[in-house]
Amino acid sequence: MDGLDLPLWILPGDESEACAEPVLCVDGVFGDHPLHLSHWPGNRTPADLRHDLSTGSALAFSRLDDGERARRTAGLVAAANNHFDTDGTCAAWALYHRADALARADALLAVAAAGDFFHLPSEDAFCVDRVIGHVGDARRSPLAAELEGAGDRVRYERATAFLFEHLAGLLDGDLAPFRDLWEPELEDLRADRADLKRAAREDLVHLEWTWWSAPDGARSTRGADVFDPGRHALFGTTPHDRVLVEGPGAGGTTYRFLLGTRSWFDLVSPPPLPRPSLERLAERLNELEGCDPAAETAWRAQADAGASPELWFGTADHETFAEHAAGCLRPSALAPTRVRAEIADALRAALVLPE
């Protein structure tokens, strides 16, 4: 390694909050630490190092000369992150593998954007993001035997060390050794994008909102029983931070409305418009639907404070940041025009400043 001369700690959950020693916060934000290289809300990244992605801030730090990097890290005992994901892994690699990272800066940023923003700079960037995520997942990781039963810290640190060995090759396009970690999802992504092309699309630029309505009765060609293109197809096809997918059919219409992460992170570029409350919107739609929010099937919303919350009609078993939602979507009796109107009202209401 030719970069940061500090150990790297990954301190998930309570471990990060208990960390009293001074560290460089990479990507996440926790505790009262003197130096951040992060785009998370509440970060204190120096102005000259700020970037829309934590990876961009880490690259900016790595471009500093040796003396300046030493000055800014004086007194710190480690670099640390409080979670494991693509942007955090890429940011840490940029700090510890300085020359390799700077030589691949554009590719590295593309992978980080595929991870944190669900953007689609390229299929290769999407594939590397998938590899990083799955290496940390004991169910699919090539390190599965080592990770099974391990705590989060051990699992994430081992996954990070493995990725540090392979990231340069992945960024250079050597994806074949990890084909089983990205190929099925790349096929799904291509199917999702083809599905979106045959759906009606409307862009409400003033509300930073795109919605798609599938042909009546259409199902996703990747095999889902409803029309359900994934997050990367959606946010990779529009510049807007709010997306709605409608799947009309004989029994009603399925809905999935998502807020992107760009309206949650602390950006250098102009931020998206203020967010609406999806929790309040779900309450309103349940009133119109005439269903009990506690029923098995109802309008549901993930917490407004989340990085990329969703609203949908269906069952409750929908994971945060899930690529697809088909398993929990159910047809609603509300007409698309009514649902769109309620969403538009919520988006407009979020623009009104409190008195």
**Is-contact 203 90, C-beta < 8 A?**
no
**What is the domain extent for residue 96?**
8-174
Both 251 and 161 in a single domain?
Answer: no
pLDDT at 2: 83
Mode of pairing for the β-strands spanning 23-26 and 78-81: parallel
Q: Among the three residues 114, 148, 174, which one is the final residue of a domain in this structure?
A: 174
- Tell me, what amino acid is at 213? S
pLDDT at 166: 98
Question: Domains in the chain: how many in total?
Answer: 2
In a domain, 2, yes or no: no
Residue 146 sits in the same domain as residue 215 = no
116 lies in the same domain as 245: no
Q: Contact 73/17 with Cβ under 8 angstroms?
A: no
Per-residue pLDDT at 1: 53
Establish if 77 belongs to a structural domain: yes
Q: Is residue 155 within 8 Å of residue 148, measured between CB atoms?
A: no
What amino acid is encoded at 104 in this protein? R
Residue 354 identity (one-letter amino acid) = P
Residues 62 and 194 reside in one and the same domain:
no
CA distance 137 to 163: 13
Instruction: Determine which helix (DSSP H) or strand (DSSP E) holds 146, and give its type and residue range.
Output: helix 144-147
Backbone angles phi, psi at 32, to 5 degrees: -110, 75
Give the chain's residues under pLDDT 70: 1, 353-355
Which of 229, 211, 207 has the alpha carbon at shortest distance from 220? 229
CA 246 to chain centre: 22
pLDDT at 353: 58
Q: Same structural domain for residues 128 and 61?
A: yes
Two tokens at 340? 């769109």
Residue 128 shares a structural domain with residue 253: no
Helices (H), 272-333: 278-289
Same domain, 300 and 250: yes
State the amino acid at position 113 in one-letter form: A
- Provide the pLDDT for residue 352: 79
Q: Which of 86, 196, 77, 173 is nearest to 137 (CA)?
A: 86
Residue 25 dihedral angles phi and psi, to the nearest 5°? -80, 115
Judgement on whether residues 75 and 115 belong to the same structural domain of the protein: yes
| Domain end call among 144, 174, 204 | 174
In angstroms, the CA 75 to CA 159 distance is 28
Last residue of a domain, which of 174, 209, 231?
174
* pLDDT score recorded for residue 3: 87
